[in-house]
Structure 1
Amino acid sequence: MDITPYVESLRRDLLAAAEGAGPEARQVAERLGFALDPAARLALMEAISQAAAEITAEMPAGGVDVRLQGRELDFVVHSPSQADLTPPAPPAPPAPPSPPGETDEDGGVARITLRLPESVKTRAEDAAAQAGQSLNTWLVTVVRNATHHGVVNVDIDLSSIPFLGGSDPLRGKGNRRMTGWL
């Protein structure tokens, strides 16, 4: 957004107000008009930024930012992606109990460094958030579950089985799921 026309309008109005006071007042108004340029730009930017903040506060999701590019203002509108609008997945089932003789207190805490591709890290963070856990807690749970022998995580969609899966016995549609540990 080019705010120069608004600053020029302010300068013209100042000159017009000084016209009736004589040539000396006109010269003072011209000098003041040029001196006011940066202050007027800053005041306009602050007003527009405040308006963008108020618009953002009223939006259900996303936001509006105002950025200065040279002498112009640019607006950046952040709209939520479709993934942000989908409801979160149901929480993960609770972890199975530790086998006899194995507890978390057996030997203290070991610290490791794990290097993941950025895309894998992002997916892991999303999965942790869906489970309502920190990334570290989620990773510990995943490693613990993967290292227990004989433990299987089950997540079965029963909605496709006629007369078992759903509220409609003729079409077998519904949202029944069975999850847990075996």
Structure 2
Amino acid sequence: MDLTPYIDTLRRELAVAAEAGGDEARELAERLIAPLESATRLTLLNVISAAMDEITRELAPGSVDVRLRGLDPDFVVTLPPSDAEAAQAAPPVEPLRAPVPAEGEEGAAARVNLRLPAHLKARAEEAAGREGLSVNAWLVRAVSAAVDGGAGPRTPEKSQAVGHSLKGWVR
């Protein structure tokens, strides 16, 4: 998506508004146009990213991602799987459960930039889609399980219920 026409329109509107203020206002507007271009571009990118987040929430398990190509955003749409594709998908995997935060943890979010190989990103998107989660939510659960999973030795446990048998790992 080329943002230049929108920025040019804003530039023209600023010039028209400055004309009403006389020569001094016009000169000030000319000095402000260059620094305002980068701020305007960044603001537009923030608006587009917020819109894509809302669209992705509505489209789940599909998604819309915004990628920066040079100075302009590019959209990548991942459609939800069709019913036929979902029927052929692997059997459902038990979702990862995020542990309850320990006492005193605030749960404040921190931003992390993560670069994944394209094939791994696609697999993460598929796994998140199978669980009906956003990729971010799925990654948060996966990281939480990985970090907390190594906290101690695991021992196999068997159920004592009559007629039922459970297998698995517990801590």
Q: Which one has the largest radius of gyration?
A: 1
Q: What TM-score do the two structures reach when normalised by structure 1?
A: 0.46
Higher relative contact order (CA 8 A, sep 6+): 2
Q: What TM-score do the two structures reach when normalised by structure 2?
A: 0.49
